[in-house]
């Protein structure tokens, strides 16, 4: 089909729940993608950080193909030989002692909520069905009904009620407001250590440390959603490391599979994940051998190619060069690692479209913010190539 036919077919048969840039991609390798007409683009979105390892990484591809020849799905009714190896790899990399595998990030968030509530009733002693979780304004934890129930974005909720109770919204970065919401029913505080969908919003220094102290004082579970920020995107393995803290529970996904397959997980301790008994929770595909093999390979790439370090070092360079661009429409530039939010004083989408015409793919968020998040395998030369285009569009 032609470019026009593909778009017309998608719009005819697909639900209208996305408004993508009008580029039709068919190939990808590393930081580069190619459309159906052969034009190449430098990907500065990385599938919302799902392809931190780059498109079609050969090591992950080989692991997927090799496993697909053997067995792909057993369900959790039977054991498989790959899931324990993923658990062991996660333990070695993160130090957490117990894991709950799922598929999508939203599923992992739902699993964390269920774990915290069950812990609250069985361990902390909160009255049944009274547990509350504190979350932040402008959060993005997924699209399920329970998750949008505690979104502050009205569009995410419009037409989907009634909503799941048990959540309190506070201003992101405001520790005093968190303190004001704590009561005897507070079971957890769940935040993104850096808010991605909101536009790479970074909390004040020490914010996470103060949350940790509050949780310790009141016996509250501290949950970090690192689905986007984790696994190297922020220049650390996890963004919470910037405050030198350790959450009770960490949620990961996206780059856990390098973009090959939906894999997510909740990382925690026996105190929290040990509350589950057989039959309490599950997923037919969660923990399947194909996904586990892919995730192991994806983690190996992060380690072997030092992608966390690359994110930190080249992220510093990328943002320093962007900040040299002088234009009154640039309101703010925020960054951690290779995760940059370029906030404008006007609608960002036309600028994303101009960048696309010049061969750079970015995506706007919250109307005025350009997200810049290339795969972590990017080189300085490739960043320089992208910077030339940013200067043409923004100067």
Instruction: Say how far apart CA 348 and CA 246 lie, in whole Å.
Output: 36
Instruction: Say how far apart CA 394 and CA 323 lie, in whole Å.
Output: 11
Nearest-5° Cα angle at 161, 160 to 166: 120
DSSP 261: S
Q: Catalytic positions, please?
A: 140, 225, 254
Instruction: Say how far apart CA 84 and CA 278 lie, in whole Å.
Output: 17
C-beta of residue 201 within 8 angstroms of C-beta of residue 334: yes
Instruction: Say how far apart CA 181 and CA 214 lie, in whole Å.
Output: 12
* Token digits of residue 290: 């194909």
DSSP 120: I
DSSP 199: T
C-beta of residue 181 within 8 angstroms of C-beta of residue 152: no
Nearest-5° Cα angle at 267, 265 to 271: 130
**Residue located via tokens 């402008």:** 138
Cis upstream peptide for 162 (omega within 30°)? yes
DSSP 181: H
Cβ-proximal residues to 173 (8 Å cutoff; 6+ apart), any chain: 201, 203, 204, 207
* Token digits of residue 124: 């902390």
């Amino acid at each position: 089909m032609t470019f026009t036919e593909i778009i017309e077919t998608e719009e005819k048969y697909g639900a209208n729940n996305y408004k993508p840039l009008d580029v039709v991609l068919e190939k990808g390798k590393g930081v580069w993608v190619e459309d159906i007409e052969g034009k190449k683009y430098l990907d500065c979105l990385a599938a919302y950080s799902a392809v931190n390892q780059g498109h079609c990484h050969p090591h992950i591809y080989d692991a997927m193909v090799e496993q697909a020849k053997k067995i792909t799905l057993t369900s959790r009714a039977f054991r498989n030989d790959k899931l324990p190896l993923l658990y062991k790899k996660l333990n070695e990399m993160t130090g957490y002692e117990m894991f709950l595998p799922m598929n999508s990030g939203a599923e992992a968030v739902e699993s964390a909520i269920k774990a915290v509530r069950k812990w609250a009733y069985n361990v902390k002693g909160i009255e049944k069905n009274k547990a509350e979780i504190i979350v932040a304004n402008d959060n993005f934890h997924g699209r399920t009904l329970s998750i949008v129930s505690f979104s502050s974005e009205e569009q995410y909720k419009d037409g989907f009620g009634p909503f799941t109770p048990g959540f309190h919204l506070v201003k992101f970065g405001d520790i005093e407001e968190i303190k004001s919401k704590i009561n005897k029913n507070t079971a957890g505080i769940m935040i993104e250590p850096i808010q991605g969908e909101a536009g790479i919003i970074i909390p004040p220094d020490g914010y996470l440390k103060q949350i940790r102290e509050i949780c310790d004082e009141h016996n509250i579970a501290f949950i970090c959603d690192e689905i986007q920020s984790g696994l190297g995107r922020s220049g650390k393995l996890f963004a919470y490391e910037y405050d030198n803290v350790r959450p009770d529970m960490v949620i990961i996904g996206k780059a856990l599979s390098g973009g090959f397959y939906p894999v997510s997980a909740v990382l925690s301790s026996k105190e929290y994940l040990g509350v589950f008994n057989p039959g309490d929770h599950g997923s037919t595909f969660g923990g399947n051998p194909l996904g586990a093999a892919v995730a192991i390979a994806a983690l190996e790439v992060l380690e072997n190619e030092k992608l966390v370090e690359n994110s930190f070092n080249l992220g510093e360079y990328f943002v320093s060069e962007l900040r040299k661009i002088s234009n009154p429409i640039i309101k703010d530039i925020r960054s951690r690692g290779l995760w940059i939010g370029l906030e404008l004083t006007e609608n960002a989408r036309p600028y994303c479209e101009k960048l696309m015409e010049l061969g750079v793919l970015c995506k706007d968020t919250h109307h005025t913010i350009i997200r810049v998040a290339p795969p972590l395998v990017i080189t300085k030369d490739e960043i320089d190539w992208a910077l030339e285009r940013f200067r043409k569009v923004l100067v």
